[in-house]
Amino acid sequence: MFLIVYKKMKKITIAIDGFSSCGKSTMAKDLAREIGYIYVDTGAMYRAVTLFAMRGGMFGADGSIDTAALEAAMGGILISFRLNGITGCPDTYLNGELVEKEIRSLEVSSHVSPVAALPFVRKALVAQQRRMGEEKGIVMDGRDIGTDVFPDAELKVFVTASARVRAQRRFDELQAKGMPADFDDILKNVEQRDYIDSHREVSPLRKAEDAVELDNSNMTIAEQKAWLMDLFRERTR
């Protein structure tokens, strides 16, 4: 009689960082679904705060932010995620309201980087993100997950692609959702966000020293998924 013992796969923290519209969220969602981990879209959290600020009239005509008003309101901003039974992906809720579609608009995209650069916003959301990942078994994507939120993550990936490729992906995504889209405006927004994200004072976008870099400019989603699964299996042996 033989006794077969299966080694339980250890749970780890997976941090996926990179530039806007480079497919981080798609990669992270697919991986989390495949391996049974929890997925957290940190970009959606910053977008939700941005939407809150826009609705509250906290942006001036010149794009400036009423930081005092936003900081005072942060304690009343509750961001949560609920699984969408149809898509199989988590939807974003702002104070109990489903805002998944609203936060993906170009208008929110055009305002999110300066909001994400505010130290008090990052401090509040990073604290929430760290609480979410205390038990491991989590896939989180963003700009500073591997460098600031989870610097000890067992698997870190840094994703990049050319600006034009990323703008085209964003354009196609908006069109598929029936939302207004102009390629030149999107390309300009992508380039502006790259600059702001990389040059902000607090937690700028940068590759962690121990992150594995992936340029997916010429890769299909299936190819990315296979590449990431191989990397995951390697780190959890």
Token look-up 């979410």 returns 132
Please tell me the predicted confidence (pLDDT) of residue 8. 57
Contact present, 21 and 10 (Cβ < 8 Å):
no
What's the pLDDT score for residue 6? 32
pLDDT tens for 59-110 read 999 989 999 999 999 999 999 888 788 877 789 999 999 999 999 998 999 9
Tell me the pTM: 0.77
51-72 confidence digits (pLDDT tens): 999 999 999 999 899 999 999 9
DSSP state of 209: T
Sequence-ordered list of residues with C-beta below 8 angstroms from that of 218, at least 6 positions apart, any chain: none
Tracing tokens 């050319």 back to the chain, one arrives at 162
**Cα–Cα distance, 168 to 203 (Å, whole number):** 27
pLDDT at 212: 97
pLDDT under 70: residue ranges of the chain? 1-9
Identify the three-state secondary structure at position 167: helix
Q: What is the dotted CATH code of the domain comprising 13-235?
A: 3.40.50.300
User: What pLDDT sits at residue 139?
Assistant: 94
If you ran DSSP here, which 8-state letter would residue 104 be given? G
Q: What is the spatial distance between Cα 14 and Cα 31, in angstroms, rounded to a whole number?
A: 10
HSE (CB half, 13 Å, CA atoms) of 159?
A: 29
Q: Within a 13 Å sphere around the CA of 197, how many CA atoms are in the beta-carbon half?
A: 24
